[in-house]
A and B are shown apart, each in its own frame.
Chain A
Amino acid sequence: MPTVSKGDGMRGLAVFISDIRNCKSKEAEIKRINKELANIRSKFKGDKALDGYSKKKYVCKLLFIFLLGHDIDFGHMEAVNLLSSNKYTEKQIGYLFISVLVNSNSDLIRLINNGIKNDLASRNPTFMNLALHCIANVGSREMAEAFAFEIPSILVAGDTMDSVKQSAALCLLRLNRTSPDLVPMGEWTARVVHLLNDQHLGVVTAATSLITTLAQKSPDDFKTSISLAVARLSRIVTSASIDLQDYTYYFVAAPWLSVKLLRLLQCYPPPEDAALRSRLTECLETILNKAQEPPKSKKVQHSNAKNAVLFEAISLIIHHDSEPTLLVRACNQLGQFLQHRETNLRYLALESMCTLASSEFSHEAVKTHIDTVINALKTERDVSVRQRAVDLLYAMCDRSNAKQIVAEMLSYLETADYSIREEIVLKVAILAEKYAVDYTWYVDTILNLIRVAGDYVSEEVWYRVIQIVINRDDVQGYAAKTVFEALQAPACHENLVKVGGYILGEFGNLIAGDSRSSPLVQFNLLHSKFHLCSVPTRALLLSAYIKFINLFPEVKATIQDVLRSDSQLRNADVELQQRAVEYLKLSCIASTDILATVLEEMPPFPERESSILAKLKKKKGPGKLPDIDDNRRNVNGSSEHSENTDTTSKASAHPFTDILNLNSTPSTGPNLLVDVFSDSSTSASVDVSEDNFSRFVCKNNGVIYENQLLQIGLKSEYRQNLGRIYVFYGNKTSTQFLSFSSFVTTSDILKSQLNVHAKTVDPVIEGGAQVQQILNIECVSDFIDAPVLNIQFRYGGTLQNIAVKLPVMLNKFFQPTEMTSQDFFQRWKQLGAPQQEVQKIFKAQHPMDTDVTKAKILGFGVALLDGVDPNPANFVGAGVIHTKSTQVGCLLRLEPNAQAQMYRLTLRTSRESVSQRLCELLGEQF
């Protein structure tokens, strides 16, 4: 037993701990504990009043026993008594016991609150701190009710000690998180913001945590914190490290405070004030510059603290997503880290780059690191690092590199850790489908997946390949040939037999002309696998056989023999037996015509969301918003599944579907009840948020709205005059949202121009979970207004109303049109009437970057025509707006003037209103 180095010795406690450690077995330990519990119980029940010391000692023993993992059902009262002791150590142990055990026995809460009240009123900072720590540790509603009014005044009072202010700030933060309704904003809020100017850096750090949380909930009330935070940050990053004394951590100036300030700034868009904005940019540049300086210490603590600030700065840069230079610098910095010898840095660089990949400004820069990332996949020893590499490859994938990335993922799959195989399979399947230019490649990829990792190929994956083959007649022959060849392998995975059975049953005739794959050969090949397969696969094969009877009359007799055999007709499995009996009878009775009708080729599947994507979302757990170019601020910060938002994804809207996807039952008309309520209770009282509206003009996916409780992400697809928006509602809290409803309202004018149909959404969203709602949109004629998404739910008893302007704009219904220079000018002339042309000359809002401009024009929906305009610096585009009633051709020309920092935008369409609207939309983007 070591001698206690400091403070009080509770010898009895030390002896007891020693005894427990000497116990040779679990039984001996339990015996010793029971003996001790009996002893303590008798002491507490005894006639003799215990002195404070003994009480403290026994309470401490009980605490120790509890922390060992045993239940404690007494002693609470004694602990509460300790609170009123005058001796600090007794009070302290009392508070500790309550902090650790109180939620299991809350009927004492009034007594506890009484003790806390006395200590808060004591004016003794040490006692006040103990009381505040207890409130922060327990954080129960009862405590919030009792103290939520008192703590703000302690926090902002002029004569409060610094250490008490720190405790009070975090205590208030805790209560605000657990019971926001009980912590009312008041005149103290303005004074809290000014704590950012406090002399004491510890107070500033604690206050920044509080302000950040409050600002997330009501950004407008804390807007003044932006300039204070920037000023404070600027002073820290430019200070000599010794200035901050003990707040310098291994030669890094106040890393905790710096990171907190950078987090606070992530609650807001870039500052509007130009001076403030440039001061912040300077700070961020300084932080990026420091990363290039030689380290001031070899200690890992130095580099960790320094890089922590750097990564947080990069998060802010990504969050602002507005300074291409900073984004590219951030990307280069992360690129350096990708090859750093510290595993931690490589891991974080991969993770951070995932979010960068989703910014239109840095997507291309991220792509340049593809070889390094692929190398990481092959050589990293640590599975968690390899996992991040897979995520990044998925995020950086687009049409230009899809083949390479899919090939690398496939080859990694052969040696990948079992724990992540299924996820990789899903990702490969999604990428292969999304970026397939020719579908033979897609079919090859999926068959390879089955070959390499058959056990991890879930049903959704092989369902999907069948849907795609059925819907695309250009790939059916190839698919039949390929599965036929794959089935020849001596050992093939059961999933391949399923795909093979289905495809040959449908399209075997397409390869039957070749004698090497004649009908009989096909049948024998399939049937050779039959006995090795499970019941569901056998059932599928039986269906393939009856399809064969229709396709190939010449093998009818052979197949009938098989169906007639005892192993089929008398199979113990009811399903198999029934199929055999019915198919046999069908083939005997029905005429060729009837057979041909009954066994006709499957019709194309109606269009639906890929079930694989749904599966990946589910697998990644609730709250993650896949397919959205989010940033670290979103519900769980993770954006490894962000798709890039480049325009190719729009062009690749899929005509496929999914009959096997059970969760999208067709909805019948709008939900009347909800709609009735909507007119009375919404728009009138709620401000419509349109903060992010214009950011969606040139992109389809992203976070449209976010507050403290809820994050709303969108993923949209448009084809001709139809659109579909997947709205993801993420519950950021740990509490359920009840009576959740969301519906779309349109102005009277818009009603005749745009049909929006929202499917109903589950009325309950669990804490941390995410639900999806599908909006189907039809553009009837050209329009200007935007529909509004209205959301209502109950959170902790209060009704929340949110209204968000949905980014459905006219340009979403563009189909890009490629044309030659000659065609372009001919049409340009045809559209020469004065009302058909709209022109706008405006000043550049963003740095003039050719690649960014190109990306935006493509994102706007038109084709970018190269070599049309004699001046290569100009941009020319063409597209057709599809509405139900008509199609409107559109030509556009954008002429940048770098010297003047100006643009001239010219649009010509056959319809004046369309020209006007498109010009308004696009004119705000540069």
Chain B
Amino acid sequence: MMRFLLLFSRQGKLRLQKWFTPIPEREKKKIIRDMTTMVLARQPRSCNFLHWKDLKIIYKRYASLYFCLAIENQENELLALEVIHRYVELLDKYFGNVCELDIIFNFEKAYFILDEFLLGGEIQETSKQVVNRCIESSDMLQETMEEYMSKPAF
């Protein structure tokens, strides 16, 4: 089972956090701090795996963003790397050449896509087409841009 997924920038700014088990807020903050310091300190060309407490940490950097996935000890490290990659592909497909800013400004979308892909710490759907179709069709359900844009900002 996967325990959590964190996305953070090279400066250690957290961009997305997904927890698959209930963890107190204070503990979350500590974990986030541990992960950013640990992963950012890694030398280039090191392996992508770390042991941390009783978990395995799998991380990979895409452009300016680090993806950091914690899995339980009996899980498969290489496949976890591909979980990260598949998520990046999904974001890419949705945003069209995704960049950090897309995730900052459309954070809720990043969460929605993740929910279609992973659920309860397990993989839900591995097909890129199926996940994208899901997201697209939910977008279709949405009201048109114009309707919203006509509303006052705040």
Contacts and interface: CB of A to CB of B under 8 A. Distances in A.
Determine the main DSSP class of A at the interface with B. Answer: helix
A10 interface: yes
A518 B91 CA distance: 79
Nearest to A18: B105
A312 B80 CA distance: 13
A167 interface: yes
B101 A636 contact: no
A343 B45 contact: yes
28 contacts: A5-B96, A7-B109, A8-B143, A14-B105, A15-B154, A39-B154, A96-B112, A103-B22, A104-B25, A126-B138, A136-B120, A163-B125, A167-B124, A171-B119, A171-B120, A202-B127, A206-B124, A259-B79, A304-B79, A305-B82, A308-B79, A308-B82, A311-B77, A346-B47, A348-B78, A381-B46, A623-B54, A636-B72
A259 B71 CA distance: 15
A256 interface: yes
Interface stretch (A60-68, A75-83, A677-685, A796-804): A60-68
B125 A621 contact: no
Given A2-B102, A10-B148, A137-B115, A304 B78 contact: yes
Interface of A: 1-2, 4-12, 14-18, 21, 39, 53-54, 57, 60, 63-64, 67, 69, 87-89, 92-93, 96, 100, 103-104, 126, 133, 136-137, 139-140, 163, 166-167, 170-171, 173-174, 177-178, 201-202, 205-206, 209, 245-247, 249, 254-257, 259, 263, 301, 304-305, 307-308, 311-312, 315, 343-344, 346-348, 381-382, 384-385, 387, 621-624, 632-638, 734, 768
A636 B54 contact: yes
A305 B82 CA distance: 7
A87 B148 CA distance: 13
A110 B134 CA distance: 29
Contact of B79 (A9, A137, A305): A305
B139 A96 contact: no
B114 to A, nearest CB: 10
Interface string B68-96: 00001110111101100110000000111
Contacts, number: 215
A344 B48 contact: yes
Contacts of B142: 7-8, 87-89
A2 B101 contact: yes
Nearest to A40: B154
A526 to B, nearest CB: 43
A146 to B, nearest CB: 17
Contacts of B102: 2, 5
A126 B121 contact: no
Contact of B47 (A4, A245, A344, A636): A344
B138 A621 contact: no
B105 A1 contact: yes
A721 to B, nearest CB: 39
Contact of A382 (B43, B119, B138, B149): B43
Nearest to A87: B143
A382 B142 CA distance: 49
Given A39-B154, A64-B107, A384-B51, A163 B134 contact: yes
B64 interface: no
Contact of B125 (A177, A202, A304, A382): A202
Given A307-B78, A344-B48, A768 B148 contact: no
A381 B139 contact: no
B54 A6 contact: no
A385 B151 CA distance: 56
Contacts of A21: 104
Nearest to B24: A103
A60 B47 contact: no
User: 7 closest Cβ contacts across the A-B interface?
Assistant: A637-B73, A174-B120, A308-B78, A637-B74, A12-B154, A308-B79, A636-B73
Contacts of A5: 95-96, 102, 106
Nearest to A39: B154
Contact of A305 (B46, B54, B78, B120): B78
A209 B17 CA distance: 23
Contact of A621 (B54, B78, B129): B54
A92 B138 CA distance: 10
B148 A166 contact: no
A39 B153 CA distance: 13
B102 to A, nearest CB: 7
Contact of B106 (A4, A348, A384): A4
Interface string B121-136: 1111111111000100
Given A136-B120, A384-B46, A247 B73 contact: no
Nearest to A166: B124
Contacts of A67: 14, 17, 107
Interface in B16-55: 17, 21-22, 25, 29, 43, 45-51, 53-54
A202 B126 contact: yes
Given A170-B120, A384-B51, A11 B153 contact: yes
Given A96-B111, A344-B78, 10 more contacts: A21-B104, A53-B151, A100-B111, A104-B25, A136-B119, A174-B120, A202-B127, A305-B79, A343-B46, A348-B77
A495 B84 CA distance: 48
Interface of B: 1, 14, 17, 21-22, 25, 29, 43, 45-51, 53-54, 72-74, 76-79, 81-82, 85-86, 94-96, 101-102, 104-109, 111-112, 115, 119-130, 134, 137-139, 141-143, 145, 148-149, 151, 153-154
Contacts of B141: 88-89, 126
B141 to A, nearest CB: 4
A89 B140 CA distance: 10
A174 B121 contact: yes
Contact of B139 (A6, A103, A623, A768): A6
B79 A202 contact: no
Contacts of B79: 255-256, 259, 304-305, 308, 312
A400 B30 CA distance: 46
B25 to A, nearest CB: 7
Nearest to B104: A17
A64 B14 CA distance: 12
A749 B138 CA distance: 71
A246 B82 contact: no
Contact of B124 (A139, A170, A381): A170
A57 B128 CA distance: 29
Contacts of A301: 82, 85
A36 B17 CA distance: 23
A170 B122 contact: yes
Contacts of A312: 76, 79
Contacts of B143: 8, 87, 89
A348 B121 CA distance: 23
A177 B145 CA distance: 41
Contacts of B43: 381-382
B92 to A, nearest CB: 12
B121 A255 contact: no
Contact of B122 (A1, A16, A137, A206): A206
B94 A246 contact: no
A88 B78 contact: no
A246 B138 contact: no
B105 A384 contact: no
Contacts of A174: 119-121
A89 B106 CA distance: 13
Given A209-B123, A637-B73, A621 B53 contact: yes
B17 to A, nearest CB: 7
Contacts of B127: 201-202, 245-247
B64 to A, nearest CB: 14
A124 to B, nearest CB: 10
Interface centre among B47, B48, B96, by most A CB within 10 Å?
Answer: B47
Contacts of B51: 384, 387
Contacts of A163: 125, 130, 134
Contacts of B115: 133, 137
B4 to A, nearest CB: 12
Contacts of B17: 67
